[in-house]
């Protein structure tokens, strides 16, 4: 009987039924031992109900290696040896299989090379956009709409229209202003003043704002 289960990609468990088979103990006695251990150590043992020969659901516990070894620590030396040997066998099944022939070794090497090449091609595809963004992350001064549009290689009119369309800025009188969420996020500064008796507002991108908007517009620089 093989009650090996996988709780995750590399996590093994051993069932109470297999422990009973290996130790020669009754399954209900093994379950009782597990329940006492869980109570004493405040453990949350994985439990499942499986069909039995009589058709009634049978409670099966699934223990990880630590829980299993703690459970059998009070059993006989021979019994503990069986459990340890079984765990070594189960863990060995997780080890990657070595190629059994020269042809298998070549196929394995070819598969690895194909995966590496695919990863390299993906990085090369992404590199222009990444470089485009990183080029402006080091901006040290606030910049106006025209300057940032020039950095991005976009017409100022189109740049403003896109910012307005996507809810980044809005028009107030003759001025463009950022929505509060973007100003609070530190992407813009707004200076107010008065000239010729008229109040004015001047919006500028912060260095963080330049980097942020460059990332948003980097798709325009990706290769087709």
pLDDT digits (tens, 9 = 90+) for 153-173: 889 999 999 999 989 999 888
Shared domain check, 136 and 90: no
pLDDT score for 224: 42
Final residue of a structural domain among 39, 69, 94: 94
pLDDT score for 127: 56
Shared domain check, 88 and 24: yes
What global pTM score does this model have? Answer: 0.40
Whether 103 is covered by a domain: the verdict is no
Low-confidence ranges of the chain (pLDDT < 70): 1-10, 53-55, 95-99, 120-140, 195-199, 218-224
Number of domains in the chain: 2
pLDDT score for 212: 86
- For residue 10, the 8-state DSSP code is S
Residue 170: phi and psi, rounded to 5, are -145, 160
129's CB contacts (< 8 A; 6+ apart) are 218, 219, 221, 222
User: Which tokens belong to 43?
Assistant: 């453990």
Q: Which of 146, 181, 155, 184 is nearest to 166 (CA)?
A: 181
Helix (H, G, I), strand (E, B) or coil at 157: helix
pLDDT score for 93: 73
Residue 58: phi and psi, rounded to 5, are -115, 125
CA distance 148 to 204: 9
pLDDT score for 1: 41
> What domain range includes position 158?
132-221
Shared domain check, 155 and 88: no
Whether 174 is covered by a domain: the verdict is yes
Shared domain check, 82 and 15: yes
CA distance 85 to 88: 5
Final residue of a structural domain among 71, 94, 117: 94
Whether 119 is covered by a domain: the verdict is no
pLDDT in tens, 66-107: 999 999 988 888 888 999 988 888 887 776 666 677 777 777
* Residue in this structure with the two tokens 């969420």, named with its chain if needed: 181
Whether 87 is covered by a domain: the verdict is yes
pLDDT score for 223: 45
CA distance 168 to 183: 9
Final residue of a structural domain among 48, 69, 94: 94
């Amino acid at each position: 009987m093989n009650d090996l289960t996988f709780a995750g990609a590399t996590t093994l468990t051993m069932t109470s039924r297999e422990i009973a088979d290996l130790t020669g103990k009754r399954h209900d006695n093994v379950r009782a031992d597990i329940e006492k251990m869980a109570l004493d150590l405040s453990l949350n043992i994985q439990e499942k109900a499986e069909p039995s020969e009589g058709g009634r659901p049978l409670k099966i516990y699934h223990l990880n290696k630590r829980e299993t070894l703690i459970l059998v620590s009070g059993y006989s030396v021979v019994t503990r040896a069986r459990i340890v040997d079984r765990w070594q066998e189960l863990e060995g099944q997780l080890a990657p299989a070595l190629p059994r022939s020269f042809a298998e070794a070549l196929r394995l090497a070819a598969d690895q090379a194909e995966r590496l090449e695919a990863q390299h091609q993906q990085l090369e595809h992404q590199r222009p956009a990444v470089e485009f963004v990183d080029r402006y992350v080091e901006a040290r001064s606030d910049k106006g709409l025209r300057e940032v549009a020039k950095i991005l290689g976009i017409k100022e009119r189109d740049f403003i229209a896109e910012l307005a369309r996507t809810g980044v800025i809005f028009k107030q009188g003759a001025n463009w202003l950022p929505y509060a969420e973007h100003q609070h996020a530190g992407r813009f500064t707004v200076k107010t003043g008065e000239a010729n008796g008229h109040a004015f507002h001047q919006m500028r991108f912060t260095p963080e704002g330049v980097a942020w908007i460059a990332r948003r517009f980097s798709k325009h620089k990706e290769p087709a």
